[in-house]
């Protein structure tokens, strides 16, 4: 496996999502779910703007791609609102395992059929077993 170095990055990113969920719950309860989402994306926008100002702009390359690829930008706020609403009611653990199950289920479908321009990767019994294990974890945490 040549890309083994990517796994720690992915694990840290997953940990960051759990921390984000833990932060969004109280923020959403205090300020409201949509204001909490706006605040999180506002901070993210500032950081990205800083990166774009000091990085080399590549807007031309981005807009040369099919426009439907940009619809992924809709999913970020939906995800953050879902975290903000769910976390205070069911906790960070159950929220994140539920999200993980949804992510893995959708990812396996994308891999199996090569959807959204991704390379096709066969979903075997091991991958389906992992999905079942996550479903079992969801049931056990609940």
The answer for residues whose C-beta is within 8 angstroms of residue 141's C-beta and 6 or more apart is 93, 94, 97
pTM above 0.85, yes or no: no
Is 88:24 a contact under the CB 8 Å cutoff?
A: no
Q: For residue 113, what pLDDT is reported?
A: 95
pLDDT mean for each 10 residues of the chain (142 residues):
80 85 88 90 87 74 80 85 91 92 94 92 96 96 90
Q: For residue 107, what pLDDT is reported?
A: 93
Report DSSP state, residue 68: G
Alpha-carbon dihedral sign for residues 7, 107, 66, 77: negative
How many C-beta atoms lie closer than 10 Å to residue 104's C-beta?
A: 16
The structure tokens 């703007």 sit at 49
Q: For residue 57, what pLDDT is reported?
A: 66
Q: For residue 1, what pLDDT is reported?
A: 60
Is 18:2 a contact under the CB 8 Å cutoff?
A: no
Alpha-carbon dihedral sign for residues 42, 69, 18, 54: negative
What does the chain come to in residues? Answer: 142
């Amino acid at each position: 496996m040549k890309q083994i170095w990517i796994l720690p990055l992915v694990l840290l990113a997953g940990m960051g999502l759990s921390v984000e969920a833990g932060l969004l719950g109280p923020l959403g309860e205090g300020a409201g779910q949509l204001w909490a989402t706006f605040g999180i994306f506002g901070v993210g926008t500032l950081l990205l703007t800083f990166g774009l100002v000091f990085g080399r702009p590549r807007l031309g390359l981005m807009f040369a791609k099919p426009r439907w690829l940009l619809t992924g930008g809709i999913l970020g706020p939906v995800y953050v609102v879902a975290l903000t609403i769910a976390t205070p009611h069911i906790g960070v653990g159950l929220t994140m395992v539920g999200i993980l199950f949804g992510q893995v289920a959708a990812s396996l479908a994308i891999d199996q059929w090569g959807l959204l321009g991704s390379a096709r990767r066969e979903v075997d019994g091991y991958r389906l077993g992992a999905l079942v294990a996550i479903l079992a974890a969801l049931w056990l945490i609940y």
